[in-house]
Amino acid sequence: MTRSPSPSRRAGSGPRHAVRTSQQTPRNGSAPAGSADPGAAPGALTRRSRAQGRVRWELLRNLIRKDLKVKYKGSTLGFAWSLANPLLLLIVYTFLFQVVFKAGVPRFGIYFLAGMLVWNAFAGSVSSACGSVIGNANLVKKVRFPLPVLPLSAVGFAAVHFVLQLLVLVAVVLALGYPLIGGGLLLLIPAGTVALVFTIGMSMLVSALSVRFKDTPHLIEVALVAWVWLNPMVYAFGLIRNHLHEYTWVYLLNPMAIVVATFQRAIYVTSTAKKPDGSTLEVLADPGYLFYLKHLGVAGLISLGVLGLGVWVFRKLQADFAEDL
């Protein structure tokens, strides 16, 4: 609402200044290339938005690098810890589920890691996205910058680890002489894309909600613990099918479930295993490709919906971040 005459001395002089000047005198010399004056010349708008996109991208890269630097600062092995982590898990889980519990899934460690790495990337992104805006309160309150880079940097941080850990896993699989190279590896592309879209959507959603509703991080923390079990990571996919039969598709509505299953198809490859009693255990959801592509398509649509929701909520709430923090 704009109240009519202001107490300041503006009332009379308003119309004179109403001429919006679009021709700004460009400052010569020191003006950096990226700082295209708004509304300068035709084409300036696209140039500016491209420059802004570039700035955002570099800011994102800077933030991710900062997180990585801060995390590994002072540790002798630095990044090697993150790479050693999956190897350690591989040994522990192989021992636990193959020697102690005899889960019946051969090469259990590989099976488990194939799904777990992508899940960890997702869970890690979402839980650190919860604190991404809150943790940078000082910045949000004092500097104007594109705020979506905060949750995105949480995703990027997790993505960097994920990619490197995946390479380690692939190297291990190849070193152990298991089958891997084949068309199935191409499934990683759509699965990775769906995972990325879904992760970004969820991260933006929870980062914005966490600012406004302080309960969100606690809720997410609990939800993620439960959510682990909704993915076929420590159990074989056949188990689900035995229980749900024709309703298995409901289980696969969880985008992470089909993403995990696809990663297993791509990396673990072997689709069935012989049980000690002679029957076969369906370890993977399907030996072919089509099943995965179909369900990934559905999951992709759901992920896009979540992304849309996340962006919408973030946009809606971000103007009040500085006040809510």
> Minimal distance in Å, beta carbon 228 to other proteins?
23
Nearer to other proteins, 62 or 242 (CB): 62
Strand-pairing partners, residue 281, are: 273
Nearer to other proteins, 68 or 164 (CB): 68
Cβ atoms 299, 258 nearer than 8 A? yes
> Minimal distance in Å, beta carbon 291 to other proteins?
38
Token pair, residue 99, equals 């020697």
Nearer to other proteins, 277 or 323 (CB): 323
CA nearest neighbour of 104 among 224, 315, 283, 240:
283
CA nearest neighbour of 248 among 259, 236, 256, 237:
237
Nearer to other proteins, 141 or 243 (CB): 141
Nearer to other proteins, 138 or 279 (CB): 138
Strand-pairing partners, residue 280, are: 274
Q: What phi-psi label fits residue 25: left (phi over 0), alpha (psi between -120 and 50 degrees) or beta? A: beta
Q: Which residues bind other proteins (CB under 8 A)?
A: 1-13, 16-17, 20-21, 24-25, 27, 30-35, 37-39, 51, 54-55, 58-59, 62-63, 66, 69-70, 73, 136, 138-145, 212-216, 219, 319-320, 322-324
* Residues written for the chain: 325
> Minimal distance in Å, beta carbon 316 to other proteins?
11
> Minimal distance in Å, beta carbon 15 to other proteins?
10
Nearer to other proteins, 134 or 267 (CB): 134
Cβ atoms 296, 194 nearer than 8 A? yes
Opening angle at CA 129, ends 57 and 147, nearest 5? 45
Burial class (CB within 10 angstroms; exposed 0-12, middle 13-18, buried 19+) of 285: buried
> Minimal distance in Å, beta carbon 69 to other proteins?
6
> Minimal distance in Å, beta carbon 288 to other proteins?
43
Nearer to other proteins, 187 or 202 (CB): 202
> Minimal distance in Å, beta carbon 264 to other proteins?
35
CA distance 286 to 265: 8
CA distance 28 to 37: 12
CA distance 200 to 310: 8
